[in-house]
Amino acid sequence: MYNNKVNSPVYENRGFQHEAERPAPYSSQYIYPSFPQTTPSHNVGYPQTINTHSTTTPGEAHYPRQKTGTRKCHWKYGLCACLCVVVTLAVIGLLLWYFLYYQCLLGMSCGPGGKCLSHSQWCNGVRDCSNGEDESQCFRLHGTSLILESYSANKQAWMPVCADNWDDNYGKTVCQQIGYSRQDYVAYSQISPGSMASNGYMKLKSGSDPGLLLQSQLTPSLQCSASAVTLQCIGCGRSSGGPSSRIVGGTEAVNGAWPWQVSLQISSKHICGGSIISPYWILSAAHCFQKYNSPSLWRVSSGDVRLSQIGLGTAVERIINHEKYDSDGSDNDIALLKLREPLTFSTRVRPVCLPNAGMPFSAGSQAWITGWGALRSSGPSPDILNQAQVTIYSRETCNADQVLHGQVTKTMICAGKLQGGVDTCQGDSGGPLVVKVGDVWWLAGDTSWGIGCALKNKPGVYGNVTYFIDWIYKQMQND
Ligand code: ARG
């Protein structure tokens, strides 16, 4: 064999001959070229074995032609190999760029297609993204007990904050960073975080510099001699005079029972509902503002269950519709109104609590809907606020063929009574779907759409406020 390779040009020619005449790639001809040989059956190709013996014993008549073919082929082969290498490198480069930078596989991106930062740059107290996204949502509250969590980029996890060295000033700073104003702050306290601290805590470093962002002063720690911080950024969710129990199938409400309920009006006419979430902010549905999107048209009235008594209300400074609101499918049907003047809170005017991460609203939870909407499909609207109790259904139930047939997306929740008879209706839009946990009311949804009103197997559909929580706080921060 060795001799054959070195001394005889025949071996090489054989190797390259078919290259010059190039049959279709990967044809059996290409993989197992046919040679003048004693066993013609080998021409048929795959999966016969390569007869190395016959490749080294060719017919002599082909020799001169094969020699010319070799030089041509060398040149083309080289070019082809070069091209292959260049293309492969380009493809690898493109893939690396796509996954490492564009998809930011090993880091975190400032936004879709934005700058890619390493994990250690996230929530480290230094703004690396052009819009500061890397430092804008480093704190959140968890569950109904309001446990303060801080994001640890290194651990890539939310961890409870240790109360060692904590004070009200830190509490106010965090609430402000979340999206509230310092004046709204109520108090902090301590709670044993249970399994939530299984990864440890985020703890204040000693000798911290108050001029720096708070997240740069927190460091992961397994030890915490106090316990976890709970934080009340606003006094919310308290009602006076519970549901006495129209909406369709409801009852009339009394003053103070739903103090967050507002009436959104144009020229003193009720158009939509809304919920107070802070002195300056009202949460409602984006579809309310599609036709009339100028803030100067609207006023926000609160403080009375009777529209005839409710008064002129407060002027609107800004309407923020969700940028991904889709009027066809009603996806992302949420909007925020910023008021010109802050509301003064009282027993009849008060905010509802925004949901936190890890809230227990699940299938089967009982919830309440309120509004000045029609008491039956295409019927008249009442003067007095109505209330009704509904059940929150699982997305699977909502989307069943005989129910809402797959129209309930993750930005929505559905609630009502499958047997029919109780529902929100025209004019209730934007208003609250609330759930009571202990003594506190939480905003689970904003009234969005339905098929008719209160029909059997057609529950109402609400914006999924828990899903929008980051979006909501981001808007409240940009002030
Ligand atoms: N889109 C309606 C509005 O503008 C709310 C409809 C709610 N419908 C229902 N069946 N739940 O007031």
Instruction: Name the amino acid, one letter, at 184.
Output: D
d(CA 391, CA 417): 6
CA dihedral 194, 195, 200, 203 (to 10 degrees): -40
Q: Does the Cβ of 199 fall within 6 Å of ligand 1? A: no
Q: Does the Cβ of 184 fall within 6 Å of ligand 1? A: no
Closest C-alpha to 230, from 194, 275, 189: 189
The alpha carbon of 316 and the centre of ligand 1 are apart by a number of angstroms equal to 23
Catalytic member of 184, 331, 333, 428: 333
Q: What is the pLDDT of residue 210?
A: 66
C-alpha of 374 from chain center: 33
Q: Which of 447, 457, 458, 461 to mutate to test the pocket of ligand 1 (most atoms within 8 A of CB)?
A: 447
Annotation says 429 is catalytic: yes
**Eight-state DSSP code of residue 293:** -
Q: Does the Cβ of 424 fall within 6 Å of ligand 1? A: yes
Q: Is 136 helix (H, G, I), strand (E, B) or coil?
A: helix
d(CA 48, CA 331): 60
The alpha carbon of 339 and the centre of ligand 1 are apart by a number of angstroms equal to 24
Type and span of the H or E element at 393: strand 386-393
Annotation says 439 is catalytic: no
Q: What is the pLDDT of residue 67?
A: 42
Q: Does the Cβ of 447 fall within 6 Å of ligand 1? A: yes
The alpha carbon of 147 and the centre of ligand 1 are apart by a number of angstroms equal to 35
Closest C-alpha to 472, from 253, 214, 284, 223: 284
Q: What is the pLDDT of residues 19-57, one digit of tens each?
A: 333 333 333 333 333 333 333 333 333 333 333 333 333
pLDDT tens for the chain, residues 1 to 479: 333 333 333 333 333 333 333 333 333 333 333 333 333 333 333 333 333 333 333 333 344 444 445 555 677 788 888 888 888 888 887 877 666 666 688 888 898 878 899 988 999 889 999 989 999 999 999 999 999 999 998 888 999 999 999 999 999 999 999 999 999 999 999 999 888 888 899 999 987 676 788 999 999 999 999 899 999 999 999 998 755 545 788 899 999 999 999 999 999 999 999 999 999 999 999 999 999 999 999 999 999 999 999 999 999 999 999 999 999 999 999 999 999 999 999 999 999 999 999 998 989 999 999 999 999 988 888 999 999 999 999 999 999 999 999 999 999 999 999 999 999 999 999 999 999 999 999 999 999 999 999 999 999 999 999 999 999 999 999 87
Q: What is the pLDDT of residue 97?
A: 62
Q: Which two tokens stand for residue 146?
A: 């309001």
Count CA within 13 A, CB hemisphere, residue 194: 4
Q: What is the pLDDT of residue 242?
A: 59
Q: Does the Cβ of 423 fall within 6 Å of ligand 1? A: yes
Catalytic member of 136, 142, 278, 287: 287
Q: Which of 330, 424, 457, 458 to mutate to test the pocket of ligand 1 (most atoms within 8 A of CB)?
A: 424
The alpha carbon of 28 and the centre of ligand 1 are apart by a number of angstroms equal to 67
Catalytic member of 109, 301, 330, 429: 429
Q: Which two tokens stand for residue 479?
A: 């002030």
Q: What is the pLDDT of residue 457?
A: 98
pTM: 0.80
Annotation says 287 is catalytic: yes
The alpha carbon of 414 and the centre of ligand 1 are apart by a number of angstroms equal to 12
The alpha carbon of 428 and the centre of ligand 1 are apart by a number of angstroms equal to 6
